[in-house]
Amino acid sequence: MDPTATAQGCPPDQDRVAALERALAESEGRLAAMVEQQRLLFREINHRVKNSLQMVASLLSLHREKVPDPGQRRVFDDMVARVHMIAHVHRMLYQGSAIEEVDVAELLREMAQPLASLSGGSLAIRADRLLMPADLAIPVGLSVNELVTNAQRHAYPDGSGPVAVDLRVAGGEAVLTVADQGNGGLTEAKARDGALGLLLVRALAAQVGGRLSFDSGTRGTTVTLAWEVQGA
């Protein structure tokens, strides 16, 4: 009889291996439970943030109805659109499988209908799939919101017209363009001076490390935002 065998007939080394396997399985189970708990907590936080933002948008809309001046009403419209865009991101985080990333293409498509309704013009969206952390997707979405709004209001004499948003991802770079077919009134100099509220767009572009450029002429204006992305 092997003197190193236990009372159950198993060598001590096998007992230790079995004990380690049980401990490892228990640790993996606890870790999986913690990850799931964190995921559920994160989703609940995004759900509550989304609801809070929607409440803010509703309050702004109520106050808007009490403002007689058209210019001031447009300011409220802009604020509501921005709040709704951020709420879209948190809704996508709440409903999606990824808890920290957002598909920017999906976000832009969801923004299309509200933006078109607000401006009264047509909006075409073409976008490649691009996953980005929420804290970077929000500046991109807000930039599109501002650029589309500015194009609809300032490029066309009647206040509305076609605007195209295009997002292409290749070679480690994302290139976002917002183009109108208006009077070509937006120039880089005007944007740099703060005309049309594009100081906000410049600040948002800086958040993603992007480069902002303008191409304006008699056939319209194209604003381009380009930034580096990983895995593209």
pLDDT of residue 188: 55
Measured CA to CA, the distance from residue 221 to residue 232 in angstroms comes to 27
pLDDT of residue 174: 95
User: What number is the average pLDDT over the span 215-232?
Assistant: 85
pLDDT greater than 70 at residue 57: yes
Phi and psi based region of residue 159 (left: phi greater than 0; alpha: psi -120 to 50; beta: remaining) = left
Q: Which region among 43-47, 190-194, 209-213 has the lowest average model confidence (pLDDT)? A: 190-194
**84-142 pLDDT per residue, tens:** 888 888 887 777 666 678 899 999 998 888 887 776 778 899 999 999 988 888 899 98
pLDDT of residue 200: 81
pLDDT greater than 90 at residue 165: yes
pLDDT greater than 60 at residue 5: no
φ/ψ of residue 211, rounded to 5: -115, 125
Of residues 160 and 97, more confidence is placed in: 160
pLDDT of residue 223: 92
- Reported as a pLDDT band with limits 50, 70 and 90, residue 191 is low
Of residues 14 and 224, more confidence is placed in: 224
Per DSSP bridges, beta strands 211-217 and 220-228 are antiparallel
User: What number is the average pLDDT over the span 137-152?
Assistant: 88
Mean pLDDT highest for which of 7-16, 18-27, 202-211?
A: 202-211
- Reported as a pLDDT band with limits 50, 70 and 90, residue 211 is very high
Of residues 179 and 100, more confidence is placed in: 179
